[in-house]
Every structure is written in C-alpha cells, then in structure tokens.
Amino acid sequence: MIDFRAYFAGALFVTGVLVGSVVGGTPPVHAADQIPSNNAEIQLSFAPLVKKVAPAVVNVYASRTVERRQRISPFFDDPFFRRFFGDRAFGEPRTQRRVQSSLGSGVIISGQGIIITNNHVIENADEVRVALADRREFDAEIVLKDERTDLAVLKIDAPDEDFPHVSFANSDELEVGDLVLAIGNPFGVGQTVTQGIVSAVARTQVGVSDYQFFIQTDAAINPGNSGGALIDVHGNLVGINTAIFSRSGGSNGIGFAIPANMVKVVASAAGDGDYVRRPWIGASLQPVSSDIAMGLGLDRPRGVLVTRIFPDSPAEQAGLEVGDLIVAVGENEINDPNSFGYRLATREIGSSATLRVLRGQEEVALTIALQEAPETVPRDMRQIGGRSPFAGATVMNLSPAVAEELRVRDEYEGVIISQVENGSAAQYVGLRRGDIVVAVNGVEIESAQFLQRVSRERPRRWLIEIQRDGKLRRLSVRG
C-alpha cells in the first residue's frame, strides 16, 4: 500500500504552508521542521503498483469473416419482388468475403488463464487471440458471453502456464474520491496506464447494458480500453472499463466501468455452464417520481414501487404486496429499478435477501428467496414457413425463463417471436424479436402450435395484434 503521508508532507514543504497552531502555549510547527531525509519520502509513484498488475492485463484481438452478396439488380433484397419473381430473376449473386477485426483489452483473473473482457469486444468473432504484456500471444476460447452485462469470459489453452492475475476487490466499498488506475490498450498504441479518481458510483442512466450500475471515473479511457482493468491503490480489480461519454470519440474525463462484484458473478457462472443464472422474484417495479413521492408522503423520491405480483412467485411467497415501496436490499439503499436489479443480480441463486419495505407508514422487513426464473410451460419452439406474414419468424411459448432469455420485462404468458430471418416476410411487415403475438384476425393466440396452424390460412387481409415494449400495436397486411 502506498503511504501518502510523505506526499502530503512534501507538498507542504514545497508550498511553505504553516502547519499547526498555538494551543495552550504550544509553538507552531513549520513545514521546514519536517524536511524529508531521502527521496522515498518525497516521491509518489504508482510504478510498483503497475509492475504488479500490468502483466495481468492483455490485448484482445477478435476477427470474423463476413460474406456479402452482390446482385446486379437493386431489387434483390426487397422481399416484395423476391416473393413474386423469385431469386433467379435477379441473376446469380457474387459473394465477397472480408475479415473484420476489433481490438480491446482483457484482464486475467486466474492463473489458469481465465480472462474477463467486454462482450462487445469479441461479439460474433470467429477467432480470438490475446497478447500478454511480455508480447507472447495465445489463442483464446470463448467460454461465456453475456450480452446483458456486456461481459465475456475467455480461456487460454496453455495448461502448463501459471499466468499473472489480479484479485477482486469488493466494489461496494469503493467511494467517490478514491484513487484508481485504468490499464488497457487505447487506440491500439500498446498497454497504457492512466490515473484518476472515482467520480461517482451507482450510475444507472448510462444505457449500455441491461444492468445499469456503473463506476464513473475521470481516469482517461479511450477506444481500445474496453475490457481493461480499473484497479485500486492496493492493486485489486474494482471494475472492467466499458464505456465513455464522448462527443469526439476520445476521453472527456467521463468513463464507466462495470463493478467487480458483477464481474465476479459472470466469472463464476463460466465455471458452471455457458450462461448466467440470475435471481427472479416475480414482481413488476416502477421508479418513484417526485409526484409519486409526494403522494406517498416521502421527503424525496426513493425506492421502487411494486405494481404487480405474479402468482406463486417468490415475491408472493415472501408477502410482498402491490403498493409496497422497496427502499433497501439488505444494507444497500435502492433508488430505482436498475439499482434493485443490480443488488439482486450480485447475489447467489438459492440464497435469500432481506427487503426493507415501506407499507403505508410502517417499515417491514421481508425475506425473499432468490430462485432462477422457471419455465412454467414448455417453450415449443417453431419456425413459421409458407406465405403468411409470419414466414421466417421463430416463435415459442412465453414463460419467466424465456422472458429472461429474450430480455422481456414483466410479461410471462403468451407467444413470443424469438428470431426473424433477414429478408423474410416477417421482417418485411415489421415483426421483431421480442414481439408478443396477442391475436391474429381477431382470434387470441394461445400457443406457438396454434399460431403455426393459424399462419397456414389464406385470408385476403391479415389483422395482427402484437405487444411491443408494453404497448399494443396493430398491423394490417394484404393476404
């Protein structure tokens, strides 16, 4: 640990500030009376810290091969013309292949070569290589990708190696004003270290992942730093550098890092499988506005308001009620749904959490079980073919588990579109992944199997009702 007392003493010596005061006849102590006796007492350097941590920060190179078809006719990609004239009318395609590459950073968290980076660094990659600080390069396997947190786990296949690695800090203990270092490979210039402070914690309005709960820092973070380390003055990992706020593309002193406590959850999940299991409580929540706070008799907006409880859910079993105001999870205060989601997501499946709830003028404590979202009905995935507006769409029965996978909030029943093929009729009429099919031609859609049967009909006009982002939409399509 770096001793900052020598730095302050040196600063006082340079500026000639008078230290102390006359209290009870005690004479003042001048800075000149505290002259440093050697260089170590006046020199502040992060060099020992960097030497310890830098070997565990790697460069990540991801590449993928992209094929692009070219047609003589500009109408080839129009589903309307393809439907009536077929592919042959536009001639044989010419295929061009090119390699796209991306550059980022990563952090080794285990001597066995386990690496954490950002998902957007290696997304859709066919090949991933990592370069260590000592310039050795290795192929890396993608063990887990988690879009919801924008994190990914890589593994270097070198069983005989004992790689340098960093330890996790408890990011909940981080405070505004703490010194931090950012290490990564900005703009591909090579490993670079920048220093700053924690500007804010628990930033929830950044909008770069589902779990918006970020550490903000003024340590310079630039393109290429993504996936790199944010470390504290003890050399422990407090976050993974992920995003910047910038109008120019360069650092403006506003960078964001995913807290280490969330990183640990994803790293742990990689040892258990290929996806992250998250707690589900079965309740819909709403942020508290100023008007709602006034109506509840609060002095300020805080907490999250429970607006819906799903039957047989952990929320119902815990005794949570519609109208309850959740103000804390354990000792951590809650200010919005994002912070509530983060506090649950960083706890283990199978454990429990204590919720502090305001119910009227009374505060109660409820213990809620943290379980994985259940698949209450078989998903029964089906791909729709034929000539209907649903052709090219893959649909399945909706359940809490499916809703979690497709990142749909607060809807756990019905039939949902999980995929739409490019150039298909479904894409042409405007259907999207995540749309819930409510009704077709006035008939309520109860299951994926029923929707597939309905799609075989030949009406003159299709009247489709879907739910998207909580709003009902109606589509009218000629048959």
- Rounded CA-CA distance 224/217 in Å is 17
DSSP-assigned states of every residue in 81-145: HHHHH-SGGG-PPEEEEEEEEEEEEEEE-STT-EEEEEHHHHTT-SEEEEE-TTS-EEEEEEEEE
Could you tell me if 154 and 139 are in contact, meaning their C-beta atoms sit under 8 angstroms apart?
Answer: no
Q: Exposed e or buried b for every residue in 62-75, given b needs 16+ CB within 10 A?
A: bebeeeeeeeeeee
- Active-site residue (options: 150, 218, 324, 336): 150
How much of the chain is in helix, strand and coil states, percent to nearest 5?
20, 35, 45
- Active-site residue (options: 102, 105, 120, 455): 120
Q: Which residues are annotated as a binding site for substrate?
A: 120, 150, 224-226
Q: Which residues are annotated as a binding site?
A: 120, 150, 224-226
* CA dihedral (196, 197, 198, 199) positive or negative: negative
- Active-site residue (options: 102, 226, 313, 424): 226
Beta bridge partners of 217: 198, 255
Q: Is 30 a catalytic residue?
A: no
Report the chain's C-alpha Rg in angstroms.
28
Active site residues: 120, 150, 226
